[in-house]
Amino acid sequence: MQAFAAQLDDIGKPAWIALMIVSFVLFWPAGFVVLGYLIGSGRMGCGFHHHRDGDRWQDRMQRMQERMRDKTARWEQRWGMSSRPASSGNRAFDEYRTETLRRLEDEERQFREFLDRLRHAKDKAEFDEFMAEMRRRPTPEQGPHTEV
């Protein structure tokens, strides 16, 4: 079910809406089940859950990029192709293009590392805030002190 839901998430809300309509047409109780799942999981953005939309979008984009890389690698392996662009016939341009692509790949790697550090810092700050809040709470052994 998780894989099916992930595929529909990649397509977007129209796929979920179409599934819900087809479910209502074929067997109306199944339509209510799909509707309840959509609302309960927050997939329709009904506001019942506090998902980090940016994180969900980022996860979706990473999954899509990974699938595209896998498919490209399989296709290249199958047909004996390489991911290197064909020569243009102009050696100076080919060197420039190679250097530019290398630089862009380095910048992409650095940006991904930056995003990872940023996410880690955000998670650490949230965790530290949680721990500070937990320390401020009285433990059950202490309980509220009442004087007689």
State CA 9 to chain mean position distance: 10
Q: pTM (2 decimals)?
A: 0.37
Residue 142 placed within a domain? no
Question: pLDDT tens-digit profile of 34-56?
Answer: 888 877 777 776 544 455 556 77
Task: Give, as one character, the DSSP assignment of residue 46.
Answer: -
* pLDDT, averaged across the chain: 80
pLDDT higher than threshold 90 for residue 9: no
Residue 131 placed within a domain? yes
Task: State how many domains the chain has.
Answer: 3
Q: Which domain holds residue 123?
A: 90-135
Phi/psi of residue 82, nearest 5 degrees: -115, 165
Do residues 69 and 105 both lie within one domain? no
Between the alpha carbon of residue 64 and those of residues 7, 54, 58, 104, the distances in Å are 10, 15, 10, 20
Phi/psi of residue 83, nearest 5 degrees: -85, 0
Question: pLDDT tens-digit profile of 93-118?
Answer: 989 999 999 999 999 999 999 999 99
Lowest mean pLDDT among 8-17, 25-34, 49-58: 49-58
Task: Give, as one character, the DSSP assignment of residue 80.
Answer: T
Do residues 55 and 21 both lie within one domain? no
Using CA atoms in the order 135, 140, 144, 146, what is the torsion angle rounded to 10 degrees? -150
80: its two tokens: 């004996």
Residue 145 placed within a domain? no
In sequence order, which residues have a C-beta less than 8 Å from that of residue 46 and are 6 or more positions away?
39
Q: How confident is the model at residue 138 (pLDDT cuts 50, 70, 90)?
A: confident
